[in-house]
Amino acid sequence: MTDPQAGVEDVPPGYKRTDVGAIPEDWSVSLLDSVAVRGSGHTPDKKHPEYWDGSIPWISLADSPELDNGYIYETTSTITPAGIQNSSAVIHPPETVVLTRDAGVGKSAIMGQAMAVSQHFMAWRCGPDINNHFLYYWLQSKKGEFERIAIGNTIKTIGLPYFKNLKIPLPHIHEQCAIAAALSDVDGLIGALDALIEKKRAIKQATMQQLLTGKKRLPGFEKNPDYKNTEVGMIPEDWRVVKVGAIANILRGASPRPIDSPVWFDEHSSTGWLRISDVTSADKYLMETTQCLSSAGIANSRLVKPDNLVMSICATVGRPIIIKKEVCIHDGFVVFEGLNANKEYLYYILLSIEMDWSKHGQTGSQMNLNTGLIISTLIPLPAPEEQTAIAAVLSDMDAEIAALERRREKTKQIKQGMMQQLLTGRIRLPSVGRVSA
């Protein structure tokens, strides 16, 4: 006779098997609809301007960047009472939990004030048996599942029947509050790190503006206090103005054609194929690429050895980066070879003028720069020793920011682990339940 429980994972003592997995015996499983009032929203007719720019915040997909950060207090768009009265939109009270069910599926937040939502959102007003912060974190923990079940070609969406049948594991309300408080503390740490990183970036930006123009001199380099007016503005008397082409041989990359042919690529190759996405996802140094070239691809592109400075000149124009592995660059990049200046100093100079390139780039299907423009660009240049000193100060600031970013990422990973353990009851908080592995 076959054991009906064969192949089913054992449930540890003090736990029970349920539709949502193994949970503590003193927890329950409820339809979300039975403990919270579910609602949605609508978009008032945009042909009627009297429906828009009113006093009622209206959450739409444009507000997605503000979600997953706890409370949402302001929205990109607002609607009027007439917009409410002449559409299916409704005003949800403060503390309502919202979730995107279209496009960027699975992002959630808590309303910081009364708001309406578009049809792309679900909204839950929590009853006495469920804490809204607990629900917010539980929805965050389900984001991966939401993304998997969303269907659609152009816009992925989750249909209403799914939410009608959505079940949630529920501890006692006091334990819900304790779990939410623990996770909120971690969110507070992440928020503090976000604020500190932004502050450090602002300080670095101001420091770049001071050091790279000579308005502030580092100790040991203030011997000549005089300044002179030049094509790049006021700079120290002992600095020079040079064309970028005078301190480097600027070479454009090359692309094998047709670019999508598999013959050019080899995942076992050690020579990377530099793409704009590789550069925009990296910081100062590029350590890896998502693709590698075959020997045929290398022969039809431009090879760049490690520790060279390159810059994007197409689409995302003017983004510099220092290569730390052998790569090939296509015609959307230039490399600065034979550099007669401190490489890191030039990196920071290029970074400081990145936003200016778009004023001079040629537009077509996408922005691009020609090498002639780069060659003729004028930059301020101190003596080699001062270049090195300036680059060292800015590099130290970059290293501090990178360390904070790593700490933030580790804290986010800790939060994910805590959600997986606390929201399923695998680990109980000592003050509210038995600690279980």
Domains and CATH numbers, the chain: 15-170 (3.90.220.20), 172-225+385-429 (1.10.287.1120), 240-381 (3.90.220.20)
Closest by alpha carbon to 312, among 345, 281, 344?
281
Residues in the chain: 437
The secondary element (H helix, E strand) that includes residue 345 is: helix 343-352
- The confidence score (pLDDT) of residue 10 equals 77
pLDDT in tens, 372-412: 999 999 999 999 999 999 999 999 999 999 999 999 999 99
The stretches of 267-339 forming alpha helices (DSSP H) are: 276-280, 295-299
Per-residue pLDDT 10s for the chain (437 aa) are 444 444 456 788 899 999 999 999 999 999 999 999 999 999 999 999 999 999 999 999 999 999 999 999 999 999 999 999 999 999 999 999 999 998 889 999 999 999 999 999 999 999 999 999 999 999 999 999 999 988 877 778 899 999 999 999 999 999 999 999 999 999 999 999 999 999 999 999 999 999 999 999 999 887 777 899 999 999 999 999 999 999 999 999 998 888 889 999 999 999 999 999 999 888 899 999 999 999 999 999 999 999 999 999 987 889 999 999 999 999 999 999 999 999 999 999 999 998 887 776 555 445 678 889 999 999 999 999 999 999 999 999 999 999 999 999 999 999 999 999 999 999 999 865 554 43
Contacts of 109 (CB under 8 A, 6+ apart): 59, 66, 67, 68, 69, 70, 71, 72, 97, 98, 136
- Token output for 271: 């020579």
Taking the CA atoms of residue 15, residue 19, residue 21 and residue 27 in that order, the dihedral angle to the nearest 10 degrees is: -40
The stretches of 212-313 forming alpha helices (DSSP H) are: 244-247, 276-280, 295-299
- Token output for 160: 């209403």
Q: How many CB atoms lie within 10 A of CB 174?
A: 12
d(CA 137, CA 33): 17
- The confidence score (pLDDT) of residue 366 equals 56
